[in-house]
Structure 1
Amino acid sequence: MSTILYARVSTLDQNATHQRAQAEASGFKIDDALFEEGVSGVTTRLQDRPQGKRLYDKLRPGDTLVVRWVDRLGRNYQDVTEAIRDFMARGVVIRTVINNMTFDGATKDPVQKAVRDALIAFMAATAEAQAEATKSAQRVGIDARKGDETRYRGKKPSYDRATFEKVVDLLGNGAGASAIAKATGVSRQSVLRIRDDRANAEKALAKWDVA
Protein backbone atom coordinates (compact mmCIF):
# COMPACT_ATOMS: atom_id res chain seq x y z
CA MET A 1 0.00 0.00 0.00
CA SER A 2 1.37 3.41 -1.01
CA THR A 3 0.74 7.00 -0.01
CA ILE A 4 0.70 9.23 -3.07
CA LEU A 5 0.66 13.02 -3.04
CA TYR A 6 -1.07 14.82 -5.91
CA ALA A 7 -0.26 18.54 -6.15
CA ARG A 8 -1.71 20.80 -8.82
CA VAL A 9 0.56 23.81 -9.21
CA SER A 10 -0.22 27.04 -11.03
CA THR A 11 1.66 30.33 -11.14
CA LEU A 12 -0.74 31.74 -8.53
CA ASP A 13 -0.76 28.84 -6.10
CA GLN A 14 1.72 27.42 -3.63
CA ASN A 15 4.60 25.67 -5.34
CA ALA A 16 5.20 21.92 -5.44
CA THR A 17 7.99 21.96 -2.87
CA HIS A 18 5.79 23.79 -0.40
CA GLN A 19 2.86 21.42 -0.85
CA ARG A 20 5.01 18.36 -0.24
CA ALA A 21 6.75 19.94 2.74
CA GLN A 22 3.37 20.90 4.18
CA ALA A 23 2.10 17.33 3.82
CA GLU A 24 5.21 15.82 5.43
CA ALA A 25 5.11 18.36 8.26
CA SER A 26 1.55 17.21 8.94
CA GLY A 27 2.76 13.65 9.45
CA PHE A 28 2.21 12.09 6.03
CA LYS A 29 4.92 9.73 4.81
CA ILE A 30 4.84 10.25 1.05
CA ASP A 31 5.91 7.29 -1.10
CA ASP A 32 5.37 9.04 -4.42
CA ALA A 33 4.35 12.52 -5.56
CA LEU A 34 2.81 13.77 -8.78
CA PHE A 35 3.03 17.47 -9.62
CA GLU A 36 0.66 19.01 -12.18
CA GLU A 37 1.97 22.31 -13.49
CA GLY A 38 0.20 24.91 -15.58
CA VAL A 39 -3.03 22.96 -16.12
CA SER A 40 -6.40 24.51 -15.30
CA GLY A 41 -8.41 22.88 -12.56
CA VAL A 42 -11.57 24.46 -13.97
CA THR A 43 -11.57 23.50 -17.64
CA THR A 44 -9.47 20.32 -17.65
CA ARG A 45 -10.75 17.18 -15.93
CA LEU A 46 -8.42 15.35 -13.57
CA GLN A 47 -8.29 12.26 -15.77
CA ASP A 48 -7.42 14.41 -18.81
CA ARG A 49 -4.36 16.05 -17.21
CA PRO A 50 -0.94 14.43 -17.79
CA GLN A 51 -0.27 13.72 -14.11
CA GLY A 52 -3.94 13.07 -13.46
CA LYS A 53 -3.79 10.19 -15.93
CA ARG A 54 -0.74 8.81 -14.13
CA LEU A 55 -2.59 9.12 -10.84
CA TYR A 56 -5.46 6.97 -12.11
CA ASP A 57 -2.91 4.37 -13.32
CA LYS A 58 -0.90 4.35 -10.08
CA LEU A 59 -3.63 4.12 -7.46
CA ARG A 60 -4.41 0.64 -6.18
CA PRO A 61 -6.85 -0.68 -3.55
CA GLY A 62 -5.54 0.18 -0.10
CA ASP A 63 -3.52 3.17 -1.31
CA THR A 64 -3.90 6.62 0.22
CA LEU A 65 -4.21 9.71 -1.96
CA VAL A 66 -3.04 12.89 -0.22
CA VAL A 67 -3.97 16.38 -1.44
CA ARG A 68 -3.50 19.73 0.25
CA TRP A 69 -7.24 20.36 -0.25
CA VAL A 70 -9.86 19.06 -2.65
CA ASP A 71 -9.35 22.09 -4.90
CA ARG A 72 -6.02 20.54 -5.92
CA LEU A 73 -8.02 17.78 -7.60
CA GLY A 74 -9.94 20.45 -9.47
CA ARG A 75 -12.29 23.40 -9.26
CA ASN A 76 -15.15 21.84 -11.18
CA TYR A 77 -17.87 20.42 -8.94
CA GLN A 78 -18.84 17.50 -11.14
CA ASP A 79 -15.27 16.48 -11.95
CA VAL A 80 -14.12 16.55 -8.33
CA THR A 81 -17.10 14.66 -6.89
CA GLU A 82 -16.94 12.01 -9.63
CA ALA A 83 -13.19 11.55 -9.15
CA ILE A 84 -13.49 11.10 -5.39
CA ARG A 85 -16.38 8.64 -5.77
CA ASP A 86 -14.37 6.69 -8.33
CA PHE A 87 -11.31 6.51 -6.07
CA MET A 88 -13.38 5.41 -3.08
CA ALA A 89 -15.06 2.70 -5.16
CA ARG A 90 -11.60 1.41 -6.06
CA GLY A 91 -10.65 1.12 -2.39
CA VAL A 92 -8.53 4.26 -2.25
CA VAL A 93 -8.57 6.50 0.82
CA ILE A 94 -8.46 10.25 0.15
CA ARG A 95 -6.94 12.50 2.82
CA THR A 96 -6.45 16.26 2.94
CA VAL A 97 -3.52 18.02 4.57
CA ILE A 98 -5.67 20.97 5.61
CA ASN A 99 -7.99 19.95 8.48
CA ASN A 100 -6.89 16.31 8.08
CA MET A 101 -10.11 15.18 6.37
CA THR A 102 -10.48 11.49 5.43
CA PHE A 103 -12.80 10.06 2.78
CA ASP A 104 -13.12 6.37 2.01
CA GLY A 105 -15.71 3.87 0.87
CA ALA A 106 -15.37 1.51 3.82
CA THR A 107 -18.36 2.69 5.81
CA LYS A 108 -21.63 0.83 5.30
CA ASP A 109 -23.73 2.93 7.63
CA PRO A 110 -26.19 4.97 5.50
CA VAL A 111 -26.10 8.00 7.79
CA GLN A 112 -22.29 8.13 7.81
CA LYS A 113 -22.28 7.74 4.03
CA ALA A 114 -24.76 10.59 3.66
CA VAL A 115 -22.66 12.87 5.88
CA ARG A 116 -19.49 11.94 4.00
CA ASP A 117 -21.06 12.54 0.59
CA ALA A 118 -22.58 15.85 1.69
CA LEU A 119 -19.20 17.06 2.93
CA ILE A 120 -17.50 16.07 -0.32
CA ALA A 121 -20.19 17.90 -2.28
CA PHE A 122 -19.84 21.00 -0.13
CA MET A 123 -16.05 21.11 -0.47
CA ALA A 124 -16.20 20.60 -4.24
CA ALA A 125 -18.85 23.30 -4.59
CA THR A 126 -16.74 25.69 -2.52
CA ALA A 127 -13.73 25.07 -4.78
CA GLU A 128 -15.78 25.91 -7.88
CA ALA A 129 -17.32 28.97 -6.23
CA GLN A 130 -13.85 30.30 -5.35
CA ALA A 131 -12.75 29.85 -8.95
CA GLU A 132 -15.81 31.75 -10.19
CA ALA A 133 -15.17 34.56 -7.71
CA THR A 134 -11.59 34.88 -8.93
CA LYS A 135 -12.71 35.00 -12.57
CA SER A 136 -15.27 37.66 -11.72
CA ALA A 137 -12.64 39.78 -9.99
CA GLN A 138 -10.34 39.40 -12.99
CA ARG A 139 -13.10 40.58 -15.31
CA VAL A 140 -13.55 43.64 -13.13
CA GLY A 141 -9.83 44.31 -13.46
CA ILE A 142 -9.96 43.98 -17.25
CA ASP A 143 -12.91 46.36 -17.45
CA ALA A 144 -11.04 48.83 -15.28
CA ARG A 145 -8.08 48.82 -17.68
CA LYS A 146 -10.41 49.64 -20.57
CA GLY A 147 -11.71 52.73 -18.79
CA ASP A 148 -10.30 56.22 -18.70
CA GLU A 149 -6.72 55.81 -17.52
CA THR A 150 -6.51 59.49 -16.58
CA ARG A 151 -9.19 59.28 -13.86
CA TYR A 152 -8.22 59.29 -10.20
CA ARG A 153 -6.88 55.88 -9.25
CA GLY A 154 -6.97 56.14 -5.46
CA LYS A 155 -4.27 54.86 -3.12
CA LYS A 156 -1.82 52.40 -4.65
CA PRO A 157 -2.15 48.90 -3.16
CA SER A 158 0.62 47.93 -0.75
CA TYR A 159 0.87 44.44 -2.28
CA ASP A 160 1.47 43.00 -5.74
CA ARG A 161 -0.78 40.64 -7.69
CA ALA A 162 1.06 37.46 -6.63
CA THR A 163 0.68 38.42 -2.97
CA PHE A 164 -2.99 39.28 -3.53
CA GLU A 165 -3.61 35.82 -4.99
CA LYS A 166 -1.81 34.19 -2.07
CA VAL A 167 -4.03 36.11 0.37
CA VAL A 168 -7.13 35.01 -1.58
CA ASP A 169 -5.94 31.39 -1.53
CA LEU A 170 -5.32 31.45 2.23
CA LEU A 171 -8.70 33.08 2.84
CA GLY A 172 -10.34 30.35 0.80
CA ASN A 173 -8.63 27.76 2.97
CA GLY A 174 -10.06 29.31 6.12
CA ALA A 175 -6.95 31.01 7.50
CA GLY A 176 -7.45 33.98 9.84
CA ALA A 177 -6.55 37.56 8.97
CA SER A 178 -3.70 37.80 11.49
CA ALA A 179 -2.11 34.55 10.33
CA ILE A 180 -2.39 35.62 6.68
CA ALA A 181 -0.83 39.00 7.46
CA LYS A 182 2.10 37.28 9.14
CA ALA A 183 2.56 34.81 6.27
CA THR A 184 2.36 37.35 3.45
CA GLY A 185 3.65 40.60 4.93
CA VAL A 186 0.37 42.34 4.05
CA SER A 187 -1.20 44.40 6.83
CA ARG A 188 -4.12 42.83 8.68
CA GLN A 189 -6.30 45.76 7.60
CA SER A 190 -5.48 45.09 3.94
CA VAL A 191 -6.25 41.39 4.39
CA LEU A 192 -9.66 42.31 5.81
CA ARG A 193 -10.30 44.68 2.88
CA ILE A 194 -9.47 41.90 0.41
CA ARG A 195 -11.71 39.48 2.32
CA ASP A 196 -14.66 41.88 2.46
CA ASP A 197 -14.41 43.32 -1.07
CA ARG A 198 -12.24 41.13 -3.28
CA ALA A 199 -13.54 42.63 -6.51
CA ASN A 200 -12.63 46.17 -5.47
CA ALA A 201 -9.15 45.05 -4.39
CA GLU A 202 -8.65 43.44 -7.80
CA LYS A 203 -9.90 46.64 -9.44
CA ALA A 204 -7.36 48.70 -7.50
CA LEU A 205 -4.53 46.45 -8.74
CA ALA A 206 -5.75 46.85 -12.30
CA LYS A 207 -6.00 50.66 -12.02
CA TRP A 208 -2.37 50.82 -10.98
CA ASP A 209 -1.38 48.09 -13.43
CA VAL A 210 0.28 46.17 -10.61
CA ALA A 211 1.87 42.92 -11.84
Structure 2
Amino acid sequence: MSRTILYARVSTSDQNSAHQLIQAEAAGFKIDEVITDDGVSGVKVPLRERPEGKRLFDKLRHGDVLVVRWVDRLGRNYQDVTDTIRHFMRQGVVVRTVINNMTFDGATADPIQMAVRDALVGFMAATAQAQAEATKSAQRAGIADTRDKEPEKYRGRRPSYTHAQLTTLRDMDALGAGASAIAKATGLTRPTVQRLRDNPDAAEQVLARWQR
Protein backbone atom coordinates (compact mmCIF):
# COMPACT_ATOMS: atom_id res chain seq x y z
CA MET A 1 0.00 0.00 0.00
CA SER A 2 1.38 3.40 -0.96
CA ARG A 3 2.01 6.00 1.71
CA THR A 4 2.19 9.79 1.82
CA ILE A 5 5.13 10.99 3.88
CA LEU A 6 5.75 14.62 4.81
CA TYR A 7 9.36 15.70 5.25
CA ALA A 8 9.69 18.84 7.37
CA ARG A 9 12.85 20.78 8.18
CA VAL A 10 13.77 23.95 10.06
CA SER A 11 17.23 25.47 10.17
CA THR A 12 17.54 26.49 13.81
CA SER A 13 16.56 24.83 17.06
CA ASP A 14 14.35 27.76 18.11
CA GLN A 15 12.09 27.34 15.06
CA ASN A 16 9.08 25.05 15.02
CA SER A 17 8.39 22.66 12.14
CA ALA A 18 4.82 21.85 13.23
CA HIS A 19 3.37 24.52 10.95
CA GLN A 20 4.58 22.58 7.91
CA LEU A 21 2.20 19.73 8.75
CA ILE A 22 -0.61 22.21 9.38
CA GLN A 23 -0.01 23.81 5.98
CA ALA A 24 0.07 20.44 4.23
CA GLU A 25 -3.20 19.29 5.80
CA ALA A 26 -4.83 22.65 5.08
CA ALA A 27 -3.84 22.19 1.42
CA GLY A 28 -5.67 18.86 1.34
CA PHE A 29 -2.83 16.38 1.80
CA LYS A 30 -3.59 13.24 3.82
CA ILE A 31 -0.32 12.58 5.62
CA ASP A 32 0.46 9.07 6.85
CA GLU A 33 3.79 9.87 8.49
CA VAL A 34 5.94 12.90 9.27
CA ILE A 35 9.74 12.84 9.25
CA THR A 36 11.33 15.96 10.73
CA ASP A 37 14.81 17.44 11.02
CA ASP A 38 14.99 20.30 13.53
CA GLY A 39 17.93 22.68 13.59
CA VAL A 40 19.54 21.32 10.42
CA SER A 41 20.95 23.56 7.68
CA GLY A 42 19.67 22.97 4.18
CA VAL A 43 22.82 24.57 2.78
CA LYS A 44 25.55 22.71 4.66
CA VAL A 45 23.99 19.30 5.28
CA PRO A 46 22.78 17.14 2.33
CA LEU A 47 19.54 15.25 2.86
CA ARG A 48 21.37 11.89 2.98
CA GLU A 49 23.48 13.11 5.91
CA ARG A 50 20.71 14.49 8.11
CA PRO A 51 19.61 12.53 11.20
CA GLU A 52 16.06 12.01 9.89
CA GLY A 53 16.35 12.94 6.24
CA LYS A 54 18.51 9.92 5.47
CA ARG A 55 15.63 7.69 6.61
CA LEU A 56 13.67 8.76 3.54
CA PHE A 57 16.03 6.85 1.28
CA ASP A 58 15.25 3.64 3.19
CA LYS A 59 11.52 4.20 3.78
CA LEU A 60 10.22 5.47 0.46
CA ARG A 61 9.05 2.83 -2.01
CA HIS A 62 7.58 2.76 -5.51
CA GLY A 63 4.17 4.41 -5.47
CA ASP A 64 4.79 6.45 -2.32
CA VAL A 65 4.33 10.23 -2.26
CA LEU A 66 6.89 12.53 -0.64
CA VAL A 67 5.40 15.88 0.39
CA VAL A 68 7.49 18.95 1.25
CA ARG A 69 6.39 22.52 1.88
CA TRP A 70 8.71 23.58 -0.94
CA VAL A 71 11.88 22.14 -2.48
CA ASP A 72 14.05 24.20 -0.11
CA ARG A 73 13.02 21.81 2.69
CA LEU A 74 14.96 19.11 0.84
CA GLY A 75 17.92 21.47 0.62
CA ARG A 76 19.28 24.79 -0.53
CA ASN A 77 22.09 23.40 -2.62
CA TYR A 78 21.32 23.08 -6.33
CA GLN A 79 23.16 19.81 -6.93
CA ASP A 80 21.84 18.15 -3.78
CA VAL A 81 18.21 19.06 -4.47
CA THR A 82 18.22 18.05 -8.14
CA ASP A 83 20.01 14.78 -7.38
CA THR A 84 17.56 14.00 -4.57
CA ILE A 85 14.39 14.64 -6.58
CA ARG A 86 15.68 12.69 -9.58
CA HIS A 87 16.71 9.79 -7.33
CA PHE A 88 13.23 9.53 -5.86
CA MET A 89 11.57 9.80 -9.26
CA ARG A 90 13.74 6.93 -10.55
CA GLN A 91 12.52 4.91 -7.55
CA GLY A 92 8.92 5.54 -8.57
CA VAL A 93 8.28 8.04 -5.78
CA VAL A 94 6.15 11.08 -6.57
CA VAL A 95 7.44 14.33 -5.06
CA ARG A 96 4.84 17.01 -4.33
CA THR A 97 5.06 20.50 -2.85
CA VAL A 98 2.49 22.21 -0.66
CA ILE A 99 3.23 25.64 -2.12
CA ASN A 100 1.75 25.87 -5.62
CA ASN A 101 0.95 22.12 -5.54
CA MET A 102 3.82 21.12 -7.81
CA THR A 103 4.14 17.43 -8.78
CA PHE A 104 7.33 15.70 -9.93
CA ASP A 105 6.61 12.23 -11.28
CA GLY A 106 9.11 9.99 -13.02
CA ALA A 107 6.40 7.88 -14.66
CA THR A 108 6.11 9.95 -17.85
CA ALA A 109 7.92 8.64 -20.93
CA ASP A 110 7.09 11.61 -23.16
CA PRO A 111 10.37 13.45 -23.92
CA ILE A 112 8.74 16.88 -24.00
CA GLN A 113 7.06 16.36 -20.63
CA MET A 114 10.34 15.03 -19.22
CA ALA A 115 12.23 18.09 -20.47
CA VAL A 116 9.70 20.49 -18.96
CA ARG A 117 9.67 18.59 -15.66
CA ASP A 118 13.47 18.47 -15.40
CA ALA A 119 13.79 22.15 -16.28
CA LEU A 120 11.31 23.03 -13.55
CA VAL A 121 13.18 20.91 -11.01
CA GLY A 122 16.39 22.72 -11.92
CA PHE A 123 14.77 26.15 -11.74
CA MET A 124 13.25 25.55 -8.31
CA ALA A 125 16.50 24.10 -6.93
CA ALA A 126 18.47 27.07 -8.27
CA THR A 127 15.96 29.47 -6.74
CA ALA A 128 16.30 27.78 -3.35
CA GLN A 129 20.09 28.12 -3.41
CA ALA A 130 19.99 31.71 -4.67
CA GLN A 131 17.59 32.74 -1.93
CA ALA A 132 19.79 31.14 0.73
CA GLU A 133 22.87 32.95 -0.55
CA ALA A 134 21.02 36.27 -0.74
CA THR A 135 19.70 35.82 2.79
CA LYS A 136 23.15 35.14 4.25
CA SER A 137 24.64 38.11 2.39
CA ALA A 138 21.88 40.43 3.59
CA GLN A 139 22.25 39.22 7.16
CA ARG A 140 25.99 39.81 7.22
CA ALA A 141 25.72 43.24 5.61
CA GLY A 142 22.82 44.34 7.79
CA ILE A 143 24.40 43.26 11.04
CA ALA A 144 27.72 44.91 10.28
CA ASP A 145 26.11 48.15 9.10
CA THR A 146 23.75 48.48 12.06
CA ARG A 147 26.39 47.64 14.64
CA ASP A 148 28.75 50.25 13.19
CA LYS A 149 26.23 53.06 12.75
CA GLU A 150 23.70 52.55 15.55
CA PRO A 151 25.02 50.15 18.16
CA GLU A 152 22.49 51.35 20.75
CA LYS A 153 19.64 50.60 18.34
CA TYR A 154 21.08 47.35 17.06
CA ARG A 155 18.10 45.13 17.78
CA GLY A 156 15.28 47.62 17.31
CA ARG A 157 11.64 46.56 17.53
CA ARG A 158 10.84 42.85 17.83
CA PRO A 159 9.63 41.52 14.44
CA SER A 160 6.01 40.40 14.12
CA TYR A 161 6.96 37.52 11.81
CA THR A 162 9.22 34.48 11.99
CA HIS A 163 11.94 33.15 9.74
CA ALA A 164 9.62 30.35 8.63
CA GLN A 165 6.91 32.83 7.62
CA LEU A 166 9.38 35.01 5.73
CA THR A 167 10.82 31.98 3.95
CA THR A 168 7.35 30.88 2.86
CA LEU A 169 6.61 34.42 1.68
CA ARG A 170 9.80 34.58 -0.40
CA ASP A 171 9.23 31.13 -1.89
CA MET A 172 5.65 31.89 -2.90
CA ASP A 173 6.55 35.35 -4.18
CA ALA A 174 9.26 33.81 -6.39
CA LEU A 175 6.59 31.57 -7.91
CA GLY A 176 4.26 34.50 -8.58
CA ALA A 177 1.72 34.01 -5.78
CA GLY A 178 -0.47 36.98 -4.84
CA ALA A 179 -0.48 38.78 -1.49
CA SER A 180 -3.77 37.20 -0.41
CA ALA A 181 -2.54 33.66 -1.09
CA ILE A 182 0.69 34.35 0.77
CA ALA A 183 -1.19 35.84 3.72
CA LYS A 184 -3.38 32.74 3.93
CA ALA A 185 -0.41 30.37 3.79
CA THR A 186 1.72 32.25 6.33
CA GLY A 187 -0.90 33.56 8.74
CA LEU A 188 0.37 37.12 8.25
CA THR A 189 -1.86 40.06 7.45
CA ARG A 190 -2.02 41.22 3.87
CA PRO A 191 -0.41 44.63 4.68
CA THR A 192 2.45 42.81 6.43
CA VAL A 193 2.94 40.57 3.40
CA GLN A 194 3.08 43.59 1.11
CA ARG A 195 5.55 45.36 3.42
CA LEU A 196 7.86 42.34 3.62
CA ARG A 197 7.68 41.73 -0.13
CA ASP A 198 8.83 45.30 -0.75
CA ASN A 199 12.08 44.75 1.15
CA PRO A 200 12.71 41.10 2.08
CA ASP A 201 16.43 41.66 2.65
CA ALA A 202 15.72 44.24 5.34
CA ALA A 203 13.26 41.82 6.91
CA GLU A 204 16.00 39.16 7.03
CA GLN A 205 18.31 41.63 8.76
CA VAL A 206 15.72 42.27 11.48
CA LEU A 207 15.34 38.52 12.06
CA ALA A 208 19.11 38.12 12.26
CA ARG A 209 19.32 40.76 14.99
CA TRP A 210 16.65 38.98 17.01
CA GLN A 211 17.85 35.49 15.98
CA ARG A 212 14.29 34.42 15.15
Is TM > 0.5 for Structure 1 vs Structure 2?
yes
For 1:139, the equivalent position in structure 2 comes to 140
What RMSD in Å do the two structures reach over aligned CA positions? 3.0
Identity %: 61
What is the TM-score of this pair, normalised by structure 2? 0.82
* Counterparts of 1:121 and 1:81, CA distance in 2: 6
Question: 8 Å contact 1:69–1:97 — kept in the other structure?
Answer: yes
Question: Please, which runs of 5 or more residues in structure 2 have no aligned partner?
Answer: none
Amino acid at match of 2:31: I
Question: 8 Å contact 1:161–1:210 — kept in the other structure?
Answer: no
Give the direction of change, closer, same or farther, for the CA distance of 1:13–1:72 in structure 2 (3 Å limit): farther
For 1:199, the equivalent position in structure 2 comes to 201
For 2:170, the equivalent position in structure 1 comes to 171
Within the alignment, does 1:21 sit opposite 2:25 as a pair? Answer: no
Within the alignment, does 1:120 sit opposite 2:129 as a pair? Answer: no
* Counterparts of 1:150 and 1:94, CA distance in 2: 46
Question: 8 Å contact 1:4–1:64 — kept in the other structure?
Answer: yes
For 1:184, the equivalent position in structure 2 comes to 188
Give the direction of change, closer, same or farther, for the CA distance of 1:140–1:77 in structure 2 (3 Å limit): same
Question: 8 Å contact 1:180–1:191 — kept in the other structure?
Answer: yes
Amino acid at match of 1:124: A
Give the direction of change, closer, same or farther, for the CA distance of 1:37–1:147 in structure 2 (3 Å limit): same
* Counterparts of 1:135 and 1:82, CA distance in 2: 24
Deviation at residue 162 of structure 1 after TM alignment: 4.7
Q: Secondary structure at the match of 2:115?
A: helix
Q: Deviations over 1:39-91 (max 9, x none)?
A: 00011100010111111110111111111111111111110000000001111
Deviation at residue 150 of structure 1 after TM alignment: 6.3
Question: Please, which runs of 5 or more residues in structure 1 have no aligned partner?
Answer: none
Q: Deviations over 1:117-139 (max 9, x none)?
A: 00111111111111111111101
Deviates most, 159-168 or 122-131: 159-168
Deviates most, 97-106 or 14-23: 14-23
* Counterparts of 1:176 and 1:69, CA distance in 2: 17
Larger radius of gyration: 1
For 1:39, the equivalent position in structure 2 comes to 40
Q: Secondary structure at the match of 1:173?
A: helix
Deviates most, 137-146 or 124-133: 137-146
